[in-house]
Amino acid sequence: SKVSTENSYNFGKEDASYKVVVLDLGVKKNILRCLAERDCYLKVFPVNSSFEEIKAWEPHGIMLSNGPGDPAAMPKVVKLVKEIIKTDIPVFGICLGHQVLGLACGFSTYKMHNGHRGVNHPVKNLLTGKCEITSQNHGFCVGTSNGSHSIEIVDSPNGFEIEITHTHLNDGTIAGFRLKNKKIFSVQFHPESSAGPNDSRYLFDEFIENIRLS
The residues that are catalytic are 95, 190, 192
Q: Which residue type sits at 93?
A: G
Cα–Cα distance for residue pair 78/64, rounded to 1 Å:
11
Tell me if residue 140 falls in helix, strand or coil.
Answer: strand
Given a contact cutoff of 8 angstroms between Cβ atoms, the answer to whether 25 and 66 are in contact is yes
Count CA within 13 A, CB hemisphere, residue 158: 17
Handedness of CA 101, 148, 180, 121 (dihedral sign): positive
Of 117, 132, 84, 120, which Cα lies nearest the Cα of 196? 120
Tell me if residue 44 falls in helix, strand or coil.
Answer: strand
List residues bridging with 174 in a β-sheet: 167
